Chain A
């Protein structure tokens, strides 16, 4: 058992025993769902179904129902895609990178952050799929031997790199998440009384035993998966940025994109984790496990990644002038002062100014303020993608092709719909899955719990 310095704030508040941890995490799953859950689930479901309706209408009619035109051929679809993929980066970062750095505070938040990741990547994946217009030939993005002669997908194309990156990221995240879930499902299985839930959880638990050898393998598999997932996280958003960076459109054609997109992704992902966890800890009485210190740690990550993003914005602006390329310079001047100045201003305020407030200890430890900033950051990050995509396209080389983008009701419906679907999945997760990594939390109780911090001999006799 690794002992932690007593002056560090405890990660688990209250004098908990192993059994208390099981009780605290399993009770919300075993009890009846509160009324609020049904209300939220109902709202999310209605919005999600509306989104599905919009998608079906789009598939039946064609991509023309989006507010695109011949100048702006990519707008909300790719904006939403990048936004969701970005949000999906925090989960794996928390579970993989923080595992490699042996950050124990990750244990309280990794499970739900990973769930959030998976659902966010689901939502992201929807956009390229429906963007194809003919969803039923979606499998053509895979290099499958076919009857069309020697017809292969283009492995030189960043869009194909994206296919591989997103599918690898999604499937590896699911595996990483599920392998951690198996022992916790076993805990619920062994507690379940009702025959149906007992049956369901024993199927989900895969017959987990808790043998010494199995734990030995479990720990190594987690470590190696973390080692594999860490470069994966960085590669996925780098590849997403290649969709733009490898093109020759002024405003997209920049080498700063990969690191800047990765930092932005972590930034928005942590903000979404904050939004969800601040509500969840309250609704599910998990205040002892996810408390101010965890929120503060996450706010520090938001502050650091926000600063990286801010630096990237300013570097980009400077280089566009310094390059001497007039098209490049114009793209950026137009972004900041052209007809989309309000989107640029929203992006700058939300992403550059707001995270700097986290330098104040009082603010970054305030839950209400954190909640507010987390929403602001997510709005800002949506605008960042919108600014990059739409403002770079809307003033083409020929002034006769200058245009503006106005979203159609279907654009809005699909976007809002994915938010609804995301919450449908997340609420189902919170209702039926253990939202904290039980086995990991138990393993740090003796080294980082309040009882140990107050009297290091607390667990000596026991």
Chain B
């Protein structure tokens, strides 16, 4: 049997969420939803795990912190220690106060940019990429649920029957 993708369209986020709950309780696997804004509470229903980008941000920040410390230690203590106003640069620890602002700024810069770049790459959203949404109306006021026959044990007809009760407005099927 060829794989089919069923796109079920709703005109309200609440209706989609209720529909998804009903379908999932009947054992239907919903692969994805497309919406013009985040539908709060849909993730646990359709089994979307929480992102780990926050951990990445922390790691990028840690990298920035380390780089800034190593860099400033090298520039100011090792390579060319300066005696400014009778305050010589002997050790990093003694001079650490002057290095706090840049250490902080560089940490934030690395964390923010590292996370943003990872976010774009993970989403596969980069300049000029083709639109990934199944219907142009999903960025306006329509909400779409994606169900794949290959991911479901149920027959297509049974799926149709279950979907019928969820109050959708349009249904579209594509054979892959």
Instruction: Please give me the residue from chain A that is nearest to B75 by CB atom.
Output: A152
Q: Does A175 contact B (CB under 8 A)?
A: yes
Q: Does B63 contact A (CB under 8 A)?
A: no
Which chain B residues border A323 with CB–CB below 8 Å?
Answer: none
Check A221–B131 contact: CB distance below 8 A: no
Q: Does A206 contact B (CB under 8 A)?
A: yes
Report the Cα distance A211→B144, complex, angstroms. 9
Q: How far is the CB of B86 from chain A (nearest CB, A)?
A: 13
Give B113-125 as 1s and 0s: 1 = Cβ < 8 Å from A's Cβ atoms. Answer: 1011001101111
Report the Cα distance A186→B135, complex, angstroms. 12
Check A187–B139 contact: CB distance below 8 A: yes
CB < 8 Å neighbour of B84 from A17, A156, A176, A242: A156
Report the Cα distance A378→B34, complex, angstroms. 44
Check A155–B98 contact: CB distance below 8 A: yes
Segment 1-33 of B: residues with Cβ below 8 Å from A: 12, 14-15, 32-33
Segment 107-144 of B: residues with Cβ below 8 Å from A: 108-109, 111-113, 115-116, 119-120, 122-133, 136-141
Which chain B residues border A164 with CB–CB below 8 Å?
Answer: 101-102, 105-106, 109
Check A18–B105 contact: CB distance below 8 A: no
Give B40-63 as 1s and 0s: 1 = Cβ < 8 Å from A's Cβ atoms. Answer: 101100101011011001000100
Q: Does A39 contact B (CB under 8 A)?
A: no
Report the Cα distance A232→B40, complex, angstroms. 29
Give A287-328 as 1s and 0s: 1 = Cβ < 8 Å from B's Cβ atoms. Answer: 000000000000000000000000000000000000000000
Report the Cα distance A152→B74, complex, angstroms. 10
Q: Are A205 and B131 also in contact (CB < 8 A) when A225-B115, A443-B37 are?
A: yes
Check B98–A156 contact: CB distance below 8 A: yes
Tell me if A's interface is mostly helix, strand, loop or mixed.
helix
Check A143–B71 contact: CB distance below 8 A: yes
Q: How far is the CB of B72 from chain A (nearest CB, A)?
A: 5
Q: Are A219 and B116 also in contact (CB < 8 A) when A18-B141, A155-B75, A155-B98 are?
A: no
Q: Does A400 contact B (CB under 8 A)?
A: no
Q: Are A203 and B127 also in contact (CB < 8 A) when A18-B36, A175-B116 are?
A: yes
Which one of A44-52, A56-64, A165-173, A383-391 is at the B interface?
A165-173
Report the Cα distance A239→B106, complex, angstroms. 14
Q: Does A215 contact B (CB under 8 A)?
A: yes
Q: How far is the CB of A203 from chain B (nearest CB, A)?
A: 5
Report the Cα distance A459→B14, complex, angstroms. 9
Check A232–B37 contact: CB distance below 8 A: no
Report the Cα distance A189→B32, complex, angstroms. 22
Report the Cα distance A112→B119, complex, angstroms. 23
Q: Does A339 contact B (CB under 8 A)?
A: no
Q: Does B149 contact A (CB under 8 A)?
A: no
Interface residue tally for chain B (C-beta within 8 Å): 65
CB < 8 Å neighbour of A156 from B39, B76, B106: B76
Which chain A residues border B90 with CB–CB below 8 Å?
Answer: none
Report the Cα distance A151→B76, complex, angstroms. 10
Q: How far is the CB of A187 from chain B (nearest CB, A)?
A: 4
Report the Cα distance A275→B50, complex, angstroms. 40
Q: Does A110 contact B (CB under 8 A)?
A: no
Q: How far is the CB of B9 from chain A (nearest CB, A)?
A: 13
Which chain A residues border B14 with CB–CB below 8 Å?
Answer: 1, 446, 459, 462
Which chain B residues border A189 with CB–CB below 8 Å?
Answer: 131, 139
Which chain B residues border A206 with CB–CB below 8 Å?
Answer: 120, 125-129
Q: Are A462 and B125 also in contact (CB < 8 A) when A152-B75, A215-B35 are?
A: no
Which chain B residues border A242 with CB–CB below 8 Å?
Answer: 101
Check A160–B102 contact: CB distance below 8 A: yes
Instruction: Please give me the residue from chain B that is nearest to A150 by CB atom.
Output: B80
Check A190–B53 contact: CB distance below 8 A: no
Report the Cα distance A152→B98, complex, angstroms. 15
Check B119–A207 contact: CB distance below 8 A: no
Segment 65-106 of B: residues with Cβ below 8 Å from A: 71-72, 75-76, 79-80, 82, 84, 95, 98-99, 101-102, 104-106
Residues of B within 8 A of A (CB): 12, 14-15, 32-40, 42-43, 46, 48, 50-51, 53-54, 57, 61, 71-72, 75-76, 79-80, 82, 84, 95, 98-99, 101-102, 104-106, 108-109, 111-113, 115-116, 119-120, 122-133, 136-141
| Additional 10 contacts, C-beta under 8 A, given A209-B132, A216-B48 | A18-B141, A143-B71, A182-B125, A190-B131, A206-B125, A208-B133, A210-B36, A221-B53, A228-B61, A228-B108
Closest 8 CB pairs of A and B: A207-B129, A209-B132, A18-B141, A190-B136, A215-B38, A206-B125, A439-B37, A152-B75
Can you pick out 28 interface pairs between chain A and chain B where the beta carbons lie within 8 Å of each other? Answer: A1-B14, A18-B141, A22-B36, A152-B79, A156-B76, A158-B101, A160-B102, A161-B102, A161-B105, A164-B106, A168-B106, A171-B109, A182-B125, A203-B127, A208-B132, A209-B34, A211-B33, A211-B34, A212-B39, A212-B42, A212-B43, A217-B51, A218-B38, A224-B53, A224-B54, A225-B112, A235-B104, A443-B37
